[in-house]
Amino acid sequence: MDTDQIIENGNEEAKPPIFNKWKSWYILVIGELILLIVLFYWFTKTYS
């Protein structure tokens, strides 16, 4: 099935590029945000 047909018909869901489910992408993004917050907090406390 062509990509244009999928968009027009709307019968098939868009699949995520790397992971099997979109939930995995959400977990990855939220985990990265938590990691960045912790690192920035640590940098602030250490070097202030």
pLDDT of residue 3: 56
**Cα dihedral 13/18/23/25 (nearest 10):** -120
Domain ranges of the chain: 20-48
Q: How far apart are CA 34 and CA 9, in angstroms?
A: 38
Write the pLDDT tens digit of every residue in 12-47. 677 878 888 889 999 999 999 999 999 999 999 999
16: its two tokens: 């995520």
Structure tokens at 39: 């690192």
Residues 12, 17: Cα–Cα separation, whole Å: 15
